[in-house]
Structure 1
Amino acid sequence: MKYSAAFLQSKIHIMDRRKMLWYACLIEMEVDLMRILLKIILFLVTLLVSIILLVCQFICVFSSMLLSILALFLFAIGLATMLLLGETNEGLKVLFIAYLISPYGIPMLAAWFLGTIGGINERLKSI
């Protein structure tokens, strides 16, 4: 087997137990310090994200209530357009818009997005 010259010149040093324990203690202290600094930095981020999430959740609930009333009116207009006027193409367009603004359309997508961001925020808090 061939060994490089750099490998042959190196010496193996065996650390005694006291030095090893002290080294492990220093590493642990550095990790604790870095974790504390990371928590301080992430505290501001999680606080900001929590405030933004609360505001967005309020807006989502309030707009969902208003949009569901509007979706009911659009559904009635779409049905009336299809049945009374015979314009099925236009009626289907209005029904599709009513579905999008109903609680199962865009508000559901917004609620899913807020839940995802909330989960990420909770993971950041657990660090």
Structure 2
Amino acid sequence: MTDQTLAGRRVLIVEDDYYQAQDCKQMLERVGAKVVAACATIPDLSRLLEDGPIDVVLIDINLGHGLSFDFARELKARAIPFVFLTGYDTAMLPEDLAESPYLSKPADGPHIVAALAGLPRNGES
């Protein structure tokens, strides 16, 4: 995976499994993404945005100490595109997030890259 599909895109990873997060980070950087953070818990989005826009987010649903749905809603309200990456079934998604892009674990690198690359940058439609 050496193409630059995500070249220059600023990506946030929210994943509580350290190895999954690091694998995703390394893989995304190989395709040209700038990983602004890899967080095991819900980050302070306003603080992260102080350093620049976030183009796309890869987000696990279960972060060990709770679900990430409220964070996904915050991303949606700010028009920041995201993809859920989780072991849960889509049936557990709340109605307001049911149409969100979704990848089942384990997802391989090409599928993650394709899902993120297929999203518009923050602010684009």
* TM-score bucket of the superposed structures, by smaller chain: under 0.3
Give TM-score scaled by structure 1 length.
Answer: 0.19
Decide which structure has greater helix share.
1
Structure (1 or 2) with the larger CA radius of gyration: 1
Give TM-score scaled by structure 2 length.
Answer: 0.19
